[in-house]
Amino acid sequence: MSQQVVVDGHRVDGLIGERLILQFDGHAPHQDASQRSRDLAQDRRLALSGHTVLRFSYRQVMHEWTLVEREISDAIAQGRHQW
């Protein structure tokens, strides 16, 4: 996984392979409604360009890691990290 990569003009938290994007939302930066709207718009643009975006909250990463890990593994198993 590459960290803090620029894809389609936007910095993403992680990139697995060529097109599986991971976004991890911390609490403070993402509680603002306008920031949340920008994040979702970015996710849509990336999806329309063929990327797969998985976005996880701080709580999910810290307290539901099994779910996070399973969803990332499932995406890789489906080949969503490759063109």
User: Counting beta carbons within 10 angstroms of the beta carbon of residue 12, is it exposed (0 to 12), middle (13 to 18) or buried (19 or more)?
Assistant: buried
Which pTM was predicted? 0.90
pLDDT in tens, 11-60: 999 999 999 999 999 866 556 888 889 999 999 999 999 999 999 999 99
Mean pLDDT, residues 55-71: 96
Inform me whether the pLDDT recorded for 69 exceeds 80: yes
2-77: CATH architecture: 3-Layer(aba) Sandwich (3.40)
- Residue 47 exposure: Cα atoms within 13 Å on the Cβ side: 9
Going from the C-alpha of 4 to that of each of 26, 66, 78, the distances in angstroms are 15, 23, 24
Q: Are strands 52-57 and 10-16 parallel, antiparallel or unpaired?
A: unpaired
Would you give the end-to-end CA distance of the chain in angstroms? Answer: 16
- Are 51 and 45 a contacting pair, CB within 8 Å? no
List the chain domain ranges.
2-77
